[in-house]
Amino acid sequence: MLCKTKKPLLALLIICNLSFGINFLLLEALSGSFIFFLATIQAIVVFAFSTKEKPLPRSIIAVFVLLALAIGFYTYAGPHSILPIICSIVNMAATVISARSMPKFRKLAFTNNTLWIIHNIIVGALAALAMQSVALILVIVAIIRYDLLKKQEPQP
């Protein structure tokens, strides 16, 4: 979240998404687990496009959204199962927007992390809650550092 460019951020997302996916799988929180595994694939695809400096085709975006909805349908275990699906769609939007606007990406990351924290509390994922809380703090620091303080700097 403190990265100025998206490439190092996407590489880090691959590692984080796999870790979260395994954590939720061990807790048998399948919707969260499968969504993070999907997010790992999504990060790899986005990273591949970003290294070629090509925009992500809308068809690929649609596939990821449809897969998230299918995962939600397949793993539904109550209202809390909807949160990972919403997070997946917000994450997809954030990933696409990161190519054009890191400030907008950070705002969506704030929303995404907040929703995951709520989900983690509901399913009792304490390790994920701790990690997501740190991520939320980093997003807040990045928003302050890169978005709010940059606006206040005097122009020469």
Average pLDDT of the segment spanning 110-128:
94
Q: Tell me, what's the pLDDT at 134?
A: 94
Q: Supply the pTM of this predicted model.
A: 0.82
Q: Tell me, what's the pLDDT at 1?
A: 47
Packing angle between helix 82-98 and helix 6-26, nearest 10 degrees? Answer: 170
The percent of residues above 70 in pLDDT, for the chain, comes to 92
Q: Is 57 exposed, middle or buried (0-12, 13-18, 19+ CB in 10 A)?
A: exposed
pLDDT(112) > 80: yes
When the pLDDT of each residue in the chain is averaged and rounded to a whole number, the result is 87
pLDDT(12) > 60: yes
Using 50, 70 and 90 to split pLDDT, how confident is the model at 120?
very high
The encoded tokens of residue 120 equal: 């983690």
Q: What is the pLDDT of residues 45-95, one digit of tens each?
A: 887 887 787 888 989 999 999 999 999 999 999 998 999 999 999 988 887
pLDDT(154) > 80: no
| Residues 6+ positions from 63 with CB-CB distance below 8 Å | none
